Structure 1
Amino acid sequence: MADSQRAAQPVNFVHQDEIWKAHLKAEKDSAKVWPNKWGFLTEAYKEYKRESVKLKEGVKEKHPHHHLAARPPTPPGENINVGPSPPVPQTSQALIGWRSGQSHLQLEKYATVRYGRRSFLKEVDWPLDL
Structure 2
Amino acid sequence: MAESQRTSEPVNVVHQDEIWKSHVKVEKDSAEVWPNKWGFLTEVYKEYQKDSVKLKQEVRVDLPHHLAVCPQTPADKHIHVGASPPVPQTTQALIGWRSAHSHLQLEKYAPVHHGRRSFLKELGWPFDSCN
Q: TM-score, normalised to structure 1's length?
A: 0.50
Give the 5 Å matches for 1:45-56: 45-56=45-56
Report SS of the residue matched to 1:112.
coil
Please tell me the root mean square deviation across aligned C-alpha atoms, in Å. Answer: 3.9
CA offsets 1:44-94 (integer angstroms, 9 cap, x no match)? 21111011101111023xx24776742478xxxxxxxxxxxxxxxxxxx99
Aligned residue number for residue 89 of structure 1: none
Aligned residue number for residue 70 of structure 1: 69
Which one-letter code corresponds to 1:48 in the other structure?
Y
Distance 1:14 1:69, change over 3 A: same
CA distance in 1, matches of 2:50, 2:6: 59
Which one-letter code corresponds to 2:16 in the other structure?
Q
Aligned residue number for residue 20 of structure 1: 20
Distance 1:6 1:26, change over 3 A: farther
Match among 106, 113, 117 for residue 108 of structure 1? 113
Give the 5 Å matches for 1:76-95: none
Which one-letter code corresponds to 1:5 in the other structure?
R
The Cα of 1:15 is off from its aligned counterpart by: 0.5
Which one-letter code corresponds to 1:108 in the other structure?
H
CA distance in 1, matches of 2:110, 2:23: 65
Report SS of the residue matched to 1:47.
helix
Report SS of the residue matched to 2:6.
helix
Q: TM-score, normalised to structure 2's length?
A: 0.50
Gaps of 5+ in 2: 73-95, 103-108, 119-130
Which one-letter code corresponds to 1:112 in the other structure?
R
Moved over 4 A (4+): 65-68, 93-96
CA distance in 1, matches of 2:18, 2:71: 66
Gaps of 5+ in 1: 74-92, 99-103, 115-124, 126-130
The Cα of 1:113 is off from its aligned counterpart by: 6.8
